[in-house]
Amino acid sequence: MTTPPARVTVTGLDDCLTLDPARPLYVCHVRGPLTLSVVSIAWLQAIGDRARTALESRHLSDAESAQARQLPLPKRRLEWLAGRLALKHGVCAYQRRHFDARTGTRDVHISAVADGLRAGRPWVDFPVEVGLSHSVDFAVAACGPRAVGIDVERTRRMPPMLTELLTRTPGAAKGTESVGVRAMPLSLRWACKEAVLKHFGFGLRVDPQEVELTGWRPDGRFSWRAGPGLRRHVSQGDGARFDSWAREVDGYSVALVWR
């Protein structure tokens, strides 16, 4: 792996985001303007059923509590609850910061696009766009004035097939990647590709190879361009029109894409 240029700390991002499994909830405001909300799945698992039920009663609507009870797998229910809490607390914090509005978590109703290429994309009934990602011990939500894509991946060794996918660009000569991209850990490359696709609401319904990473700067910004398959679905496939950030944080790869 190539050594990247000397890292440049980005105030409000590098000195803000932290992933601590012992910390139940962490909220920070970063450039964009974005609000990030982190909920520890590990903490939710450790507190036991009675405490989790109390949390659900405090923060979920009756309909959401009923939906949670219908999830048969404990792991899936924990992830779902963590995601709901991250989104709700993120929206409340964003509303408070930018509109001086005091919003209760039970008043934040979360829906998802029902069908089509963007099926599953979360949205809320407030003037804010949201994104969500889960990985192992955490659910992380991002809130902003326009569409935002976020992906969080546990940093790990990639299997050979995925390594090939992340290091090969269709139609590009071998070894033509920029120095910055060659220096990116594979988990971070994957997070960047997913964050781009999630920004548009597609997730993995579009092939990640349709996102070509073209650069990664010392301040964490990364550049990309859309392949022909992605350009069929979006009119703005030039990554230069977007803001972005990608870093390894506390053993995880985190990527953000927003306008």
Q: Where are the domains of the chain?
A: 25-149, 152-258
* CATH architecture, domain 25-149: Alpha-Beta Complex (3.90)
The helix or strand, by DSSP H or E, that contains position 90, with its residue range, turns out to be helix 74-99
Reported pTM:
0.90
3-state class (DSSP) for residue 216: strand
Report the candidate in 213, 117, 208 with the shortest Cα–Cα distance to residue 161: 208
3-class DSSP state for residue 192? Answer: helix
C-alpha–C-alpha distance, residues 184 and 180, integer Å? 7
Structure tokens that stand for 7 in this block? 């890292």
Calpha distance 196→202 (Å, rounded)? 9
| Inter-residue contact 30 to 17 (CB < 8 Å) | yes
CB 149 within 8 A of CB 200: yes
Distance CA 47, CA 60 (A): 18
What is the C-alpha separation between 218 and 121, in angstroms, rounded?
Answer: 31
143: left (phi over 0), alpha (psi -120 to 50) or beta: beta
Query: Rounded distance, CA 122 to CA 232, Å?
Result: 23
Question: What tokens were used for 115?
Answer: 């069908």
- Which pLDDT score, from 0 to 100, does residue 16 have? 87
Per-position pLDDT tens, the chain of length 259: 555 555 555 556 777 899 999 999 999 999 889 999 999 999 999 999 999 999 999 999 999 999 999 998 999 999 999 999 999 999 999 999 999 999 999 999 999 999 999 999 999 999 999 999 999 999 999 999 999 999 999 988 777 777 776 776 655 545 557 888 988 999 999 999 999 999 999 988 899 999 999 999 988 999 999 999 999 998 777 777 899 999 999 999 999 999 8
